Amino acid sequence: MDTHELHVDTSHRKVVNITEEVLRFCAGKGDGLCSAFVPHATAGLALMETGSGSEEDLLEALRSLLPRDGRYRHSHGSPGHGADHLLPVFVSPSLVLPVLAGEPALGTWQSVVVVDTNVDNPRRRVRLSFLCG
């Protein structure tokens, strides 16, 4: 299995498009599966349309579901940090993509994004793994 680790900075954007990196990783590898995984307790991965306002819509939906206030038992870190620890329940920390002839079989408007609402740690890793078919 071929594996590569990406380093992603989420300090300026809470939804970061990593589709180009995934495409480069899969290029020339033939048919198989690409697994993407964020080894963090407060980040996730998603497939979504980008560039049309959907990123802000996603963040607004997450703010509605997971308000950043004092209601959480997990209370260390910045105010509302307990919400960050619930994010992976709603935005999975992993994705598996089919790859055909070295290209992820994404839909026309699908992009792979890192979702990270945690302001305490903007340095994220994404592990990409390719399993030949």
Cα 57 to Cα 60, 63, 103, 132: the distances in Å are 5, 10, 28, 36
Residue 75 confidence (pLDDT): 81
Residue 74 confidence (pLDDT): 87
Residue 127 confidence (pLDDT): 98
Residue 79 confidence (pLDDT): 87
Q: What is the pLDDT along the chain (133 residues), one digit of tens a residue?
A: 999 999 999 999 999 999 999 999 999 999 999 999 999 999 999 999 999 999 999 999 999 999 999 999 988 888 889 999 999 999 999 999 999 999 999 999 999 999 999 999 999 999 999 999 9
* Nearest Cα residue to 111 out of 36, 30, 2, 1: 36
Neighbours of 108 (CB within 10 A): 5
Give Dmax over CA atoms of the chain in angstroms: 49
Phi, psi of 42 (to 5 degrees): -135, 25
Structure tokens belonging to residue 18: 């990593």
Task: List CB contacts of 7: < 8 A, sequence separation 6 or more.
Answer: 123, 124, 125
Residue 23 confidence (pLDDT): 98
Task: List CB contacts of 34: < 8 A, sequence separation 6 or more.
Answer: 22, 25, 26, 96, 97, 99, 104, 128, 129, 130
Q: Look up the pTM and report it.
A: 0.95
Top CATH class of 2-132 equals: mainly beta
* Sheet strands (E) in the chain: 2-9, 15-17, 32-37, 44-48, 94-100, 103-104, 111-115, 123-132
Residue 77 confidence (pLDDT): 85
Rounded to an integer, what is the distance from CA 71 to the centroid of its chain? Answer: 25
- Domain ranges in the chain are 2-132
Structure tokens belonging to residue 94: 């992993």
